[in-house]
Amino acid sequence: MSYDRAITVFSPDGHLLQVEYAIEAVRRGGCVVGVRGRDAVVLAVERKAAAKLQEPRRGFRSGWWRHFAGILWTSRKLVLLDEGLCCAFAGLHADARVLLAKAQLEGQSYRLNNDTAPTADYMARYIAQVQQKYTHRGGVRPFGLSVLLAGVDLEGNLALYQTEPSGIFAKWKAQALGKNAKTVQEYLEKNYKEDMNEEDTFLLAISAVAEVVEAGKRNVECVIITKTNTEFVSPDKIAQELEKLEAQKKSAEEEVKPGDS
């Protein structure tokens, strides 16, 4: 049927099937989590294990602008769009490279015209607008990814936004994307607390991803965004904190056992 292939033709039940397929690509992507606290927004992602013979990815150098060099041409899922504005994505890496390159260019244009960095709400609206344009034009297909965007909004508050392949964008306190997103979202709903400090926000984000990561503690990547700083957390620190959380969990379970018997 034509509606199964063309993005400009609705199916009989009112769906654009190519958009539905793009959303399915997001569901099959690696796990991505975003959590907004009082002092910080934290993005944590499941890192894809590299093949034995694959060259290691280039590390970060000092200065926020250094993150632009080569970051979109690797398999990294945490991308710095501008100063204090970072995103993570679930879905197709190749599509992300193109879409986020457009977002970076728009951020540079915004900075040139307004002499200030773009806000999180502005960039979320721009990314969603581009995604929506690709749902009703001939000769193209929808972007097969969803984006979690963290930064400071127009009012000067920390914010977390999500965009979808359909062009929808929304503001969240905590959100999960990718494989096992439902399980992770339930974990977030159970453990999220209002007004969390930076440390608690960080621990919740990495523990949520660790709930579904099968390849070990070192396959989690994380970035912490505050109003004044953006910190890419080292794998050693993430592994160390996850080990502490696991030890605390085991200790709590052992304390409960004698009372149950």
For the record, the structure tokens of 80 come out as 């710095």
User: pLDDT per residue over 163-182, tens digit each?
Assistant: 999 999 999 999 999 999 99
pLDDT higher than 90, residue 246: no
Half-sphere exposure of 157 (CA within 13 A, CB side): 11
For the record, the structure tokens of 254 come out as 């052992």
User: pLDDT per residue over 171-215, tens digit each?
Assistant: 999 999 999 999 999 999 999 999 999 999 999 999 999 988 876
With cut-offs at 50, 70 and 90, classify the pLDDT of residue 217.
Answer: low
Euclidean distance between CA atoms 142 and 225, whole angstroms: 29
Say how many C-beta atoms besides its own lie within 10 A of residue 19's C-beta. Answer: 22
% of the chain residues with pLDDT over 70: 85
pLDDT higher than 90, residue 122: yes
Q: From residue 94, how far is each of 74, 90, 97, 151, 188 by CA, in Å? A: 10, 11, 5, 24, 29
Architecture of domain 17-47+69-250: 4-Layer Sandwich (3.60)
Q: Are 142 and 22 in contact (CB under 8 A)?
A: yes
Residue spans of the domains in the chain: they are 17-47+69-250
Q: Quote the pLDDT of residue 69.
A: 41
**Could you tell me the pTM of the whole model?**
0.87
Euclidean distance between CA atoms 68 and 64, whole angstroms: 8
Give, in degrees to the nearest 5, the angle at Cα 42 between 62 and 217.
Answer: 85
